[in-house]
Amino acid sequence: MPPAKKRLRSYDHERTRTALLAQFEHAREAVRGLASDRFALPTGLGTWTVRELAAHLTMALEAVNQGLEAPEPDGPAVPLLDWPFATASRAGGIADRVEALAASREPEELFTVVADRAATLLPEAPADRLIATSAGAMRLGDYLVTRTVELVVHTDDLNRAAGLSVPFDRQALATATRLLADALAVRAPGASTEVRIPPYAVVQCVEGPRHTRGTPPNVVEAEPLVWLRLATGRTAWHEALAEAEVSASGERADLSELLPLMS
């Protein structure tokens, strides 16, 4: 996997923090109103039920709480765009922790405890504060971006598994979309193909002739949630094409060998 050479874009710390907390609150309200029998529904994420998925949603923010309570680690900080490619190796350990957490408390209580802790720990923490994460030391500002991706992706999982319509905070959805679009540009550097995820992101990627003017010869376009499902392996490339969820034109517009970016 090619390392991230540079940050392709910056993220405003205050806006990211606000978006993260807003998305967490949307999920919390949905779980609070969920009928008890819905927690036993399957999610399609291995053996997880909705109850375990709800527990995992709380872990996205609780990881920040725990990082802020722990001593600041030594640097250097892991680049933000290295994070998407480091997630697959940790899946097994996460599954074990989720199952234990889901069995320890009711979902609504988990959300309340985590939200209360974040309200105390997060507001005054600076963006450049280093946090110990499973991927290595990260700047808090960068880590909040990764937590936002986790919350958005798993909110979509929750909606589909439980038949809900949990809203997406606009800034949170934009952040998740942009990070994973930039990750694609890291995985396949180049400028022959333009990937559009309106209204949030446009990136150029894939080696080949550089486009300079007019309509690009190779174009991929998808809506934000479709893109997130492709990038995280929820939807396969061929399935999205067959369902007309993604459009791809040009000989270099086939992204099937590049996706998913994380799982």
Residues sharing a CB contact under 8 Å with residue 114, sequence separation 6 or more, in sequence order: 24, 58, 61, 62, 65
Q: Give pTM, 2 decimals.
A: 0.94
What average pLDDT does range 46-56 have in this prediction? 97
Query: Whole-angstrom Cα distance, residue 113 to residue 51?
Result: 16
* Mean pLDDT, rounded, of the chain: 93
Percent of the chain with pLDDT over 70: 94
Going from N- to C-terminal start, the domains of the chain cover 13-168, 174-249
Percent of the chain with pLDDT over 90: 87
Task: Tell me what pLDDT residue 91 has.
Answer: 64
Identify the weakest region by mean pLDDT among 20-34, 106-120, 206-220, 227-241. Answer: 206-220
Residue type, position 205, single letter: C
Which neighbouring-strand residues pair with 79?
A: none
Instruction: List the one residue out of 168, 134, 130, 132 whose CA is nearest residue 151.
Output: 168
What are the pLDDT digits (tens) for 108-122? 999 999 999 999 999
Q: How far apart are the first and last CA of the chain?
A: 15
| Residue range 13-168, CATH number | 1.20.120.450
Task: Tell me what pLDDT residue 233 has.
Answer: 96
What average pLDDT does range 158-172 have in this prediction? 98
Task: Tell me what pLDDT residue 8 has.
Answer: 62
Instruction: List the one residue out of 56, 23, 25 whose CA is nearest residue 161.
Output: 56
Residue type, position 74, single letter: D
HSE (side-chain half, CA atoms, 13 Å) at 45: 29
Query: Whole-angstrom Cα distance, residue 144 to residue 56?
Result: 16
Measure Cα distances from 142 to 86, 156, 203, 257 in Å: 15, 22, 20, 27
**Token pair listed for 239:** 């399935």
**Token pair listed for 221:** 């376009």
**Token pair listed for 11:** 């993220």
What average pLDDT does range 167-175 have in this prediction? 98
Which neighbouring-strand residues pair with 202?
A: 196
User: 3-state DSSP call for residue 258?
Assistant: coil
pLDDT band at 213 (very low <50, low <70, confident <90, very high): low
CATH of 174-249, one of 3.90.1570.10, 3.40.50.10140, 3.40.640.10, 3.30.1050.40: 3.30.1050.40
What are the pLDDT digits (tens) for 230-244? 999 999 999 999 999
Report CA 113 to chain centroid distance, whole Å. Answer: 22
Instruction: List the one residue out of 121, 112, 162, 113 whose CA is nearest residue 140.
Output: 121
Neighbours of 18 (CB within 10 A): 15
Residues sharing a CB contact under 8 Å with residue 83, sequence separation 6 or more, in sequence order: 135, 138, 142, 146
